Structure formats: structure tokens, C-alpha cells
Amino acid sequence: MPVCTLPSGPTIGYDDTGGGSAPPLVLLHAFPLDRSMWQPQLAALAAHARVIAPDFPGFGESSPGAFTVDSAADLVAEFLGALGIGKAVVGGLSMGGYVALAFARRHADKLAGLILADTRAGVDDSSARENRTKSIELTREKGSAALFEGMAAKVLSDSTRDNKPEVVERLKGVAAKQPAESVIAALVALRDRPDANPGLKGVTVPTLVLVGEHDGVTPPLSSANLAAQIRGSTLIHIPGAGHLSNVENPDAFNAAVRNFLAATA
């Protein structure tokens, strides 16, 4: 697996595959997972674009480091520069979507398109912030595996949990591998992230908004808000999926992304 050492010092683990007439596609992973969550997309999209999936700091094979939503967006920009990529379609799911929105705000000159999956623009309310703090305490006491064990019912649809046990177990395994310190740092970053709503009307690149029809974490109404505020964006619901729509219904997710990439080529 390739690892890129950035000029500023951190190392980034990543997957890099495919090619095609569309701009490179960068996929940013959800919490508390790593780039391996994008395995269903790498092969399926490789004929249409160069597909690159990096790990955030402290996750997967990336070195630990400071983590805020904005600093992660800056790191993605530095990473693209290190790979010699001038512009890319940047897509993110959940936490990755928050970083993608920050990238759009901070590095618009490097953006060829935007994919926002199962994410929202707004900040955590007081109840959500309190839950983040409780999750920090749980992770500190019992580790990353225990945290995701409690999350599974929220982030996966009933259909996925009942009919795709292999997906559930794979995700649990990925989450369990993440260091508790990195998970805690990401929880703080999520809890304290900036409001992305003010920047939505400034997004001028082609934008695809995806959401699992049963997403209970960032429900379809959140995605409707994104699509309503980003001029010319396309909103697509992923049937049968919850919050982790790319692994719950990869066929529908990949078809939507393929069509989007074809339009940006």
C-alpha cells in the first residue's frame, strides 16, 4: 500500500487506482473508519477516473497528528499537491463530507467537483455535542471497538444489519483497528467543527449530494438542505441504505457517482 510523506512532515496512507477521462476522484472516509471503507468503490469506478482514497491523520496507515476539519482539508490539499494533482473531484461521507465542505471553502481553486454523502452543513446542537463528549469518555475507557459497537444500530439500516452480516462485521473490524487517541481527536474535531452553511452558496462546481433513504444520523432532510443551497446540485437517495450508504448499497452509490463523473469529464 502506498504511503506519501508530505512536505510538512506527516505520512498519508492511501489507495490509488484507475484512470479515465474524468478528473481524479478523491474519497474521504467516515468516522471511525479508514480508507478501506471505499473498497466497494475503487474497482467499480476505476474505469471512469483515477480514484484516490487517503486515510485521515491517525487512521489507517496515516501518521497521527493534529486534527480539525479545517486542518484535514488543508492536509488533503497538500496531499494532492504532492501527487501532482491540480484539480480533483472531492467526495466525502459523513466526517469526510465535513472535510470536503471545508476543502470547497478553503481550496476552491483545486476543486473540479464535489460529492457530499450522508453529511450535513450545520454544527452539532447541544445534545449532539454532549453525546460526542460521552463518546470520548467511552472510547477513553473501553476503546474504539466498544464505541462502534454502540454506533452500529445508528449508522446501519435495519436491512443491512439483518441481511448483510458480513458488512456489519467488516465495519466493526475496521473501527476496532483505529487507535483510541485518533478516534478521540476526531470526536473533538467533529464536536467543534465550523458551520459550513455560509459557504454553500459560494460552491460553483458540479455537486452531487447522496443520502441513504434510512439515514438516521444525517437524515435526508439534511441532504435536501445541502442540495437546496448549492446551485445546480443533484440530490439522489440511496435505497435501503442507512448512514454508510456506500457500503450498504454500493451498486446504487456507484451508479450515481459514475453518472456524475461522466458529466464532469
CATH number of the domain at 257, please: 3.40.50.1820
In a domain, 136, yes or no: no
pLDDT in tens, 155-207: 999 999 999 999 999 999 999 999 999 999 999 999 999 999 999 999 999 99
**Is there a domain that residue 152 lies in?**
no
For 19-29, the pLDDT digits (tens) are 888 899 999 99
With respect to residue 151, please indicate whether it lies within any of the assigned structural domains.
Answer: no
Residue 164 domain-assigned? no
Neighbours of 167 (CB within 10 A): 17
- Using DSSP's 3-state secondary structure scheme, residue 254 falls into helix
Structural domain boundaries, residue 62: 3-125+193-264
CA-nearest of 164, 152, 184, 146 to 66 is 184
Q: Is residue 156 included in any domain, yes or no?
A: no
Q: How many domains does the chain have?
A: 1
pTM, 2 dp: 0.97
In a domain, 146, yes or no: no
Beta bridge partners of 92: 28, 116
